[in-house]
A and B are shown apart, each in its own frame.
Chain A
């Protein structure tokens, strides 16, 4: 819960500006980007996701490092990622 999962913005949602589709660990998910006010996001940008919400924008290098790290910690991340996959916020 405390470790953010990096996701790449794939598509913004014109009707619902709080929502965006992101690619996370090979799957596409809807997440809420409403907490990133004043940080213009575009497809290709990376964000750190906590419980379905993007909490910070990060650069691609940080995203890659964070992913590698999450993979190295094993089960805890696998569980979190499974939960994210199974969930479909919105």
Chain B
């Protein structure tokens, strides 16, 4: 248990663990989903499952932006990158994601100019420095990164840049939550709400989880104690017979989110009628595209984008992992054919992906030991 050795608040964690245990009704099993990949990372890194009674299970949700991008969109981005004069820019996390024709690293080896950037503003700088080239920013992420892309487009407009565009793949968290709540193969008792997405959208958008689906949801921070405390809060609600939206991460997340960030998203982007999510299929109104007023910055309007749907490889079970239907190691290729160096699925690529987190830290936690002993 690395947590005990490394973390100064180990005593507090033990106290929370005892509190959690005392709040569980005897004989009842609890299944909570942590929506956000950042939470998944913390849970495995710090072995938090070891602090929970056997009757409390955590399942991992779809909140990893790299993981939910379908193969077809990777191929589309590659098709853009291979057009004359294009420089495709994207976050480092995206480089190893496999598409139908390999990863962006492979495309780069074939001669495409694909560059890693830390911020969309870096892509803008590349555009300024290379007036003869066409710079495309491959934008991904939930509401955490969408405002940055929107601000960058507004800036490009102000500077009247003519060689910058965005290939927009921003997705929104609420429709994904709905899809999971509607999926028949999963019975959940509550949710740990995402942390930084909520910095932007606030806590109000989760009210439907409590009202329509009768499930508690607690927005949680990323530190081990945050997560344990949020689990205790969920158990508290269930014990009291309450179902509410609560905010454990109040020190960062305002109840109403960040109004300016929401405003710039709305100014520059609008909801797509539908969008494909890896493993979850097509979900209506679940992603953003640029508004027509910004079409000159929209790579989908500028370039010929194939837009083909590409089926996931047969061996890939990322869909089940993203819905929390199976644990990462239950995928047949986990750790053998699929590793962070040679990923078959997206969940093995990003450090926020459940398979990568499990591969790096979690292989010997109690769940693994228990299930393999069965």
| Interface residue ranges, A against B (CB under 8 Å) | 1-4, 32, 34-38, 48, 50-53, 55-56, 58-59, 62, 65-66, 69, 72-76, 79-80, 83-84, 86-90
Q: A53-B147, A55-B147 are in contact. Are A87 and B223 (CB under 8 A)?
A: no
Cβ A2 vs Cβ B122 within 8 A = no
Q: A76-B41, A87-B119 are in contact. Are A3 and B145 (CB under 8 A)?
A: no
Does the CB pair A1–B251 fall under 8 Å? Answer: no
Name B's A-contacting residues (CB within 8 A): 6-7, 36-38, 41-42, 45-46, 63-66, 91-93, 116-122, 125, 141-142, 144-145, 147-148, 151, 195-197, 199-200, 222-223, 251-254, 258-261, 264, 351-352
Grouping DSSP codes into helix (H, G, I), strand (E, B) and loop, the A interface class, with mixed when no group exceeds half, is mixed
Return the contact of A75 from the options B119, B142, B251, B351 (Cβ within 8 A). B351
Taken together as a complex, chains A and B put the C-alpha atoms of A76 and B121 apart, in Å, by: 21
Q: Are B196 and A89 in contact (CB under 8 A)?
A: no
A83–B252 contact, CB under 8 A?
Answer: no
Q: Is the CB of B260 within 8 A of A36?
A: yes
Interchain CA distance A76-B64 in the complex, whole Å: 14
Please measure, in the bound complex, the distance between the C-alpha atom of A53 and the C-alpha atom of B260, giving whole angstroms. 13
Tell me whether A1 and B141 are in contact (CB under 8 A). yes
14 contacts between A and B (CB under 8 A): A1-B66, A2-B195, A3-B38, A32-B151, A35-B147, A35-B258, A51-B118, A51-B145, A52-B121, A58-B251, A66-B222, A72-B45, A73-B45, A76-B41
Nearest-CB residue, chain A, relative to B65: A1
Which residues of A lie under 8 Å from residue B253 when comparing CB positions? 56
Interface pair A89/B36, CB less than 8 Å apart? no
Measured in the bound complex, the distance between the Cα atoms of B91 and A39 in whole Å is: 28
CA distance A48 to B144 in the complex (A): 12
B residues less than 8 Å from A3 (CB atoms): 38, 196, 222
B221, chain A: closest CB distance, angstroms: 9
Minimum distance in angstroms from B181 CB to a CB of chain A:
22
Q: How far is B117's CA from A89's CA once the two chains are assembled, in angstroms?
A: 10
Question: How far is it, in angstroms, between the C-alpha of A4 and the C-alpha of B114 when the chains are bound?
Answer: 25
A89 to B258, alpha carbons, bound, how many Å?
Answer: 22
A58 CA to B196 CA, complexed, in Å: 13
Please state if B7 and A83 are interface contacts (CB–CB under 8 Å): no
Question: Is the pair B258, A87 in contact by a Cβ cutoff of 8 Å?
Answer: no
Since A2-B63, A53-B148 are in contact, a sample of 5 more A-B pairs with Cβ atoms closer than 8 Å, ordered by chain A residue number, is: A1-B93, A52-B119, A52-B122, A55-B199, A55-B200
| A1–chain B nearest beta-carbon distance, Å | 6
* CB-defined contacts of A53 to chain B, threshold 8 Å: 119, 147-148, 151
What's the minimum C-beta distance from B65 to chain A, rounded to whole angstroms? 7
Within 8 Å by CB of B119, from A2, A51, A73, lies A51
A56 touches which of B63, B117, B258 (Cβ 8 Å): B258
